[in-house]
Amino acid sequence: MSTADPILAGEAGMSDAVDAREQQPDDAVVIVLDYGAQYAQLIARRVREAHVYSEIVPHDLPFAQLLDRRPAAIILSGGPASVYADGAPAAPPGLVGAGVPIFGICYGFQLLAQALGGSVDRTGRSEYGSTLLERSAVASCILDGTPDTHQVWMSHGDAVTAAPPGFAVTASTADSPVAAFEDVDRQIVGVQFHPEVKHSPYGQRAIEHFLYDVAGIRPLWTVGNVAGELVARVREQVGDKRAIAALSGGVDSAVAAALVQRAIGNQLTCVYVDHGLMRAGETEQIEHDFVASTGARLRVVDAADRFLDALHGVSDPEQKRRIIGREFIRSFEQAARDVVTEAGAHGESVEFLVQGTLYPDVVESGGGANAATIKSHHNVGGLPEDLQFSLVEPLRTLFKDEVRQVGLELGLPEALVWRQPFPGPGLGIRIVGAVTRERLDVLRAADAIARAELTDAGLDRDIWQCPVVLLADVRSVGVQGDGRTYGHPVVLRPVGSEDAMTADWSRLPYDVLARISTRITNEIPEINRVTLDVTSKPPGTIEWE
């Protein structure tokens, strides 16, 4: 390929460039260029797990803007396109000549191969799933310390059939003659497989070799170091104005509110709308534990009757969601007006709304040129525009696990920080059928037993969550106390996940399942059968409704 190709513009001057490994700043950022990969967020997560800060940007971001971020390295993600197809996403013009270390993954690997003079072809031998990788005889920086043959995760139709001139082929598979190549002197490496997924057991090692040994980045980034910086940013944004935060009882809103409270103190008022659909003890936990650990000003709105009246006789899950969302907005609006009125009486104004927006929300809600767009329904059920608050989103650069660490840094109790994800509509969508006060009481009791047994077994952090579902419109025959019963079944839905985009059912120990089942059927007379949901996502969803 001619050096006139735009991706190579400026490459001739690379030999005169100062080695990037000698000029990495302590606040180094690795940019992940997203080419539509289903795993782009995982790449960023894995880089951060290596204690290097990373951000995802769309592949079509103007290259000058990308360079303005002073990236210490750039990773090209996978994607569904073919590099030689009309309109296929391309590598940014001038990428190689910028002197920034580059790591190509899957589609990004093929982009590098094609642009640098290698060959990419549709061989007719696609690879999907676990594949045996075989290292070549030449030394490899990014595969250093891995076995000569090991399993990796593939997902591609095209294949690199010839490496670019000057690049060493370091691995192959039965159907990919070039499964990895590298030129460490030029700080460019690539792999056909996905090192970011857990099905590539040595993938994290490859990512770290790139970061530390190819790009020369020092692993200095930690979430603990971020908390103080986030507090300072909030303090600068809000100044001496007032803010309001909607607490849902979840981790994200609790950590966001705690962080803002640390920054501005009593300028913040937290509002918790108790819709009567929470699990046992959670409202009390918010009222006591959150306030005790943060000192935040909290307003609790008891709206249970309002929600139950609105849900009367409604069984359709989508209608239930709409009703709960609508009533939440109305309840929060009224509380917000009360806070604003009180502040005005003291000559103050409430100008800011705190939201627990996370980095996956930012990436997923916009994508492409709109990557910074925030979901209108995030956190508080779809706040109307006429509330006219400016948003404070202190967690928008963090993943869920990082948010938990920030929460611990801020002194929030572990019971709040490690709380299992819980849907905004609460138990309302864990009752298959109409929602009533009696059915909620039954489900709360069953859920409390399941959570207590999982906690006693030390499994709280081994699963993502364990919804308990009440099949309120179903009855089954049972025998209790030598008598016939006709009670409700419940479903245990233990799942493991990293981000809830995909999930698999958790293989809980049989003795734990037995204790949960025995306690539920012994202690709750309305329930006479406990079942286990062993469906993955996809095809099922985590919640039943």
Distance CA 299, CA 50 (A): 40
CB 409 within 8 A of CB 224: yes
CB 477 within 8 A of CB 484: yes
CB 209 within 8 A of CB 103: no
Which has the closest alpha carbon to 544: 478, 487, 474?
474
Element (H, E) at 188: strand 188-191
Distance CA 355, CA 362 (A): 12
Distance CA 99, CA 110 (A): 20
Residue 506: CB atoms within 10 A of its CB come to: 19
Catalytic residue flag (residue 106)? yes
Element (H, E) at 109: helix 107-115
CB 96 within 8 A of CB 8: yes
Which has the closest alpha carbon to 121: 79, 157, 70?
157
The one-letter amino acid code at 323 reads: I
CB 159 within 8 A of CB 176: yes
Residue 493: CB atoms within 10 A of its CB come to: 25
Distance CA 398, CA 214 (A): 26
The residue behind tokens 């460039």 is: 17
Distance CA 237, CA 284 (A): 32
Q: Which of 59, 156, 194, 378 is catalytic?
A: 194
Q: Which of 11, 55, 59, 106 is catalytic?
A: 106
Catalytic residue flag (residue 333)? no
Distance CA 76, CA 359 (A): 19
- Provide the token pair at 121: 């072809």
Strands 468-470 and 483-492: antiparallel
H-state helical runs in 370-436? 400-409, 414-417
- Provide the token pair at 38: 């289903």
The number of residues in the chain equals 545
Which has the closest alpha carbon to 127: 159, 155, 107?
155
- Provide the token pair at 457: 């077994």
Q: Which of 196, 402, 409, 526 is catalytic?
A: 196
Bond prior to 413 in cis (omega within 30° of 0): no
Angle (deg, nearest 10), helices 510-523 and 437-456: 150
H-state helical runs in 211-316? 223-238, 251-264, 282-285, 291-294, 304-311
Interior angle at CA 80, CA 79 and CA 85, nearest 5 = 110
Residues serving a catalytic function are 106, 194, 196
